Structure 1
Amino acid sequence: MSENGASNGAAQPQVQMNILGQFVRDLSFENVMAQKGATGEVQPDISVQVNLDAKKRPAEGQFEVNIKLNIQSKSKPTGDKLFLLEIDYVGVFAIKGVPEDQLHPFLLIECPRMLFPFLRRIVSDVTRDGGFPPLNLENIDFVQIYRAELARRQAAQAATTPQQA
């Protein structure tokens, strides 16, 4: 084994990821409860939908990763909507050293993990500023989301591919 730890002389390329920028592309918060004039104690039932997307940018090695959240809060007893929050949060990444066959999962798992703490803070601030207790999102399992999307695509492809007898 050589001094740098490579046993066969072919060192693996070093993975490098830098966040070049991050921003809110779109944000909508609707306080339905206040618009209806409802008051009093409520027991919220919150649902969170997550969509991920990634695309290559014109610059070499740069990618744009989107996390879209659709968060709805309803009253448990009545089912009335309390609030609706939609946010499209984007990170611009410079990535080097990731093999081509591993780039897709890297973009849709590792990059969202880096963005999530910032997105969580925005959601907390917006819900608080919108008249509700701050919503502190639970961690999102981006690996599970990625696997579920792969399974969905494979099932859709199998449904459209003619079966041979």
Structure 2
Amino acid sequence: MSENGAAQQPQVQMNILGQFVRDLSFENVMAQKGVRAEGQPDINVQVNLDAKKRQGDDQYEVMIKLNIESKTKEKKEDLFLLEIDYVGLFRIAGVPEAQLHPFLLIECPRMLFPFLRRIVSDVTRDGGFPPLNLENIDFVQIYRAELARRQAAQGDAPTTV
């Protein structure tokens, strides 16, 4: 207890123990068809997050899964498809249980994102396209949208009295 009688909050500690590409697929559709793309591409990025407890004290695995699809704006022809699962291994201590879920799905992806952005840029450049420099991802908004989706799904479920 501190002097004012309130218990002190434990110090939050987060360490990145490792990070790696679990799965990567890049398909240059345009080159396979033997055609050249003209005009501005239309790029669609889908983001999925996952987190789970690992063996060991305070260790967690957090994954960002990106599905990126690029098409021509005019004809909607596929240019390339990129799928990547990027994983970070974390040791996290001092986070209250009630705050652990949002911490894992907001703060941890925020730490991983610059590394993932670089890989996406390199892969698209090496695949024959201009480097795709992803905009920052709002992980707070993704987390809130998923919570709202889950609450709506539960709200549709029949209730028993």
Flag whether TM exceeds 0.5 (same fold). Answer: yes
Residue from 127, 132, 135 that aligns with 1:135: 132
Give 3-state SS (helix, strand or coil) of 2:146's partner.
Answer: helix
Identity %: 79
Cα distance in 1 for partners of 2:37, 2:55 equals 52
CA distance in 1, matches of 2:37, 2:82: 21
Letter aligned with residue 75 of structure 1: T
C-alpha contact (below 8 Å) 2:47/2:67 kept by paired residues: yes
1:1-165 equivalences in 2 (<5 Å): 7-162=4-159
SS of structure 1 residue aligned to 2:10:
coil
Segments ≥4 residues shifted beyond 6 Å: none
Q: What is the CA distance between 1:161 and its match in structure 2?
A: 3.0
Q: Secondary structure at the match of 1:150?
A: helix
Deviation at 1:139, TM superposition (A): 0.2
**Distance in structure 2 (CA, Å) of the matches to 1:131 and 1:43:** 15
Confirm or deny: 8 A CA contact 2:68 2:83 kept in the other structure.
yes
Q: Do the aligned partners of residues 155 and 11 (structure 1) sit closer, same or farther apart at CA in structure 2, a change above 3 Å counting?
A: same
Tell me how many residue pairs correspond in the alignment.
160
Aligned partners of 1:27 and 1:132: how far apart in 2? Answer: 17
Distance 1:40 1:155 in 2: 41
Work out whether residues 38 and 72 of structure 2, in 8 Å CA contact, stay in contact via their aligned partners in 1.
no
Work out whether residues 37 and 79 of structure 2, in 8 Å CA contact, stay in contact via their aligned partners in 1.
no
TM-score, structure 1 normalization:
0.93
For the aligned residue pairs, the C-alpha RMSD in angstroms reads 1.4
The structural deviation recorded for 1:162 is: 2.5
Shift of 1:9: 4.9
| C-alpha separation in 2, matches of 1:155 and 1:95 | 31
Q: Is the CA contact 2:37–2:72 (under 8 Å) kept in the aligned structure 1?
A: no
- Structure 1 stretches lacking a partner, 5+ long: none
